[in-house]
A and B are shown apart, each in its own frame.
Chain A
Amino acid sequence: MTAWLVRGVQLVLLASLAGLWETASRLGWVDPKLLPPLTQIVGVLFTLLQDDRFRGDLLITLGEIAAALAVVGPLGFAAGFFLGEHRALYRALSPALHLLLAIPKSIFLPIFIFAFGIGFLQKLVFAVTLAFFIVVLNGIAAAQSVPAGLVTAARSFGATRGQIYLRIYLPAMEPLILEGLRMALIFTITGVLLAEMYGAPRGIGRLIFAWGEMFRMPELFAGVLLIVAVTIAANELIRFIEDIRRSRRRGF
């Protein structure tokens, strides 16, 4: 079976699911109040995207995600990288690290509300906490993935520390950095949305939760559709970049 055939089947599958959704809702096979037609949902979404208030909520959520990423990315990766380079320290901290990783941090959400309220800061801190340990682990793996032989060889050519970091470490760690970015994105998005749904003045998470409570299904589905589309797109974009970079690297 060629790749094109597989792609074709996937598209047909998705198209038929969409078609089924639309038909079932329009013909009343399912209660259209519970499952609005797909076209109606898309229509509502377009309307929402032109609404200032909705766009404001969207911006706030995106802002929280971006801020969390900007904090947890460099911080977590640097910490992980440091641990990866200093094996003794890593060995000492490893059990504690794995313990903290194993504990599900999302259920501590109420504590974060006690500490930081329900504003922007709380979302930021919560999302950072959720993503932090994954990024640290990723940083450790990245540091360890650099072949020691390459570093030794570079040093024997008289390369400076800076040159080694720039020309050997960075390219070597690139695949793991990209994957770490992808993981961090997934965790920060989940954290922000969860925190918003639990309690927030503004934000997409709060919006869709409220819409659900009010049984405003078309709006709810529009919001869900938007989030699903954006998260999948972002994830696939990074995957795409990873693939391109991997095929360029070839055998490294």
Chain B
Amino acid sequence: MRVRRLTVRLAILLLVLAVWESAYRAGLLSPIIFAAPSLILSAAVKDGWTFLSAFRVTMFEIAMAILIAWSVGIAFGVVAGVWPILARICAPILSALIAVPLVVLYPVLLAWLGLGPTSKIVFGTISGIFPIALNTLVGVQSIDRGYAVMAAAMGASRRQIMFQVMAPLALPAIVSGLRLGTALIVIGVVLSEMLASTDGIGFWISYHRGIFNTGQVYLGILLALVAAGIANAALSLIERAYSHRTGDDANP
């Protein structure tokens, strides 16, 4: 039962928190490295508002990056999927580029776009766009052509075939690409804020690290995880609303 599983998970969580707090109180753990639930709580009380407004900034950057990465990534994947020549030319280049640690491009973005949200949005977009494009490409390529033949036999126009037959068939692969890409976008945005910015969750994490406020650092990390969780949950919602309509064999 789902309720039971939820309560078990909640119980485990509370247990972990209790053990954590007691270890802190007993002086077993270094407070600088490990903090404690109470420290995080007091950090929230003290700097809660700052963090919340920073959260808004970060979510904005994430949302913008998602907008760009999703649309460009999917568009590219679809176009390359229906033009095998384009795919053959681009795919090796793209998969070679995956080896590059994207973080090294960040100083260039900073120099060009400054410390503000723009560099974070661009960095987030770059971080997430590759898995989205690649997964979309694979999803489109692996569609059984028979569906298209069948639809053509029924007299469907090219447009109808693409949007009413091929697109839904490619959707599961696209969604898994979006899942991975979105996670990378969130991390990319937060990391870029941590490295250099003027606001956002990452900025405040770095700020409090500098003055050894472990509670605030953990609070910031927690909020970053929450941001990732929100993005993931939103994606699951979209996926659930869609796969609700399919039978068992549509979702591998």
List residues of A whose CB falls within 8 A of some B CB. 1, 6, 9-10, 13-14, 34, 103-104, 106-111, 113-115, 186, 189-190, 193-194, 197-198, 205, 208-209, 211-213, 215, 217, 220-221, 223-224, 227-228, 231-232, 234-236
Tell me whether chain B's interface is mostly helix, strand or loop, or mixed. Answer: helix
Partner of A104, one of B106, B186, B194: B186
Given A114-B214, A186-B101, list of 15 further CB < 8 A pairs?
A: A104-B186, A107-B194, A107-B221, A110-B206, A113-B209, A114-B209, A115-B30, A193-B101, A197-B195, A212-B108, A220-B108, A223-B104, A224-B104, A227-B100, A231-B99
Partner of A208, one of B107, B187, B191: B107
Q: Is there an interface contact between A9 and B104, defined as CB atoms closer than 8 Å?
A: no
- Smallest beta-carbon distance A125→chain B, Å: 12
Residues on B with C-beta less than 8 A from A228 are: 100, 104
Q: Is there an interface contact between A108 and B99, defined as CB atoms closer than 8 Å?
A: no
**How many cross-chain pairs have Cβ atoms below 8 Å apart between A and B?**
117
In the A-B complex, the 6 residue pairs with the closest CB atoms: A212-B107, A235-B99, A110-B209, A190-B101, A115-B33, A104-B187
Residues on A with C-beta less than 8 A from B67 are: none
Whose C-beta in chain B lies nearest to the C-beta of A104? B187
Residues on A with C-beta less than 8 A from B92 are: 10
14 contacts between A and B (CB under 8 A): A6-B88, A10-B92, A104-B225, A107-B225, A109-B194, A110-B221, A111-B33, A114-B214, A115-B33, A190-B103, A213-B110, A220-B107, A220-B108, A224-B107
Q: Is there an interface contact between B88 and A1, defined as CB atoms closer than 8 Å?
A: yes
Residues on B with C-beta less than 8 A from A209 are: 107, 195
Check B85 for interface membership: any CB of A closer than 8 A.
yes
State which residues 66-98 of B face A: CB under 8 Å: 85, 88-89, 92-93, 96-98
Q: How far is the CA of A186 from the CA of B183 in the complex (A)?
A: 18
Q: Is there an interface contact between A107 and B190, defined as CB atoms closer than 8 Å?
A: yes
Size of interface on B: residues with Cβ below 8 Å to A: 43
Residues on B with C-beta less than 8 A from A208 are: 104, 107
Q: How far is the CA of A128 from the CA of B22 in the complex (A)?
A: 29
Q: Is there an interface contact between A221 and B103, defined as CB atoms closer than 8 Å?
A: no
- Smallest beta-carbon distance A178→chain B, Å: 14
Q: Is there an interface contact between A114 and B195, defined as CB atoms closer than 8 Å?
A: no
- Smallest beta-carbon distance B129→chain A, Å: 17
Tell me whether chain A's interface is mostly helix, strand or loop, or mixed. Answer: helix
Partner of B99, one of A1, A9, A115, A234: A234
Check B212 for interface membership: any CB of A closer than 8 A.
yes
Check B32 for interface membership: any CB of A closer than 8 A.
yes
Check B59 for interface membership: any CB of A closer than 8 A.
no
- Smallest beta-carbon distance A14→chain B, Å: 8
Say yes or no: A197-B103 contact (C-beta < 8 A), given A10-B93, A114-B32, A114-B33. yes
Residues on A with C-beta less than 8 A from B225 are: 103-104, 107
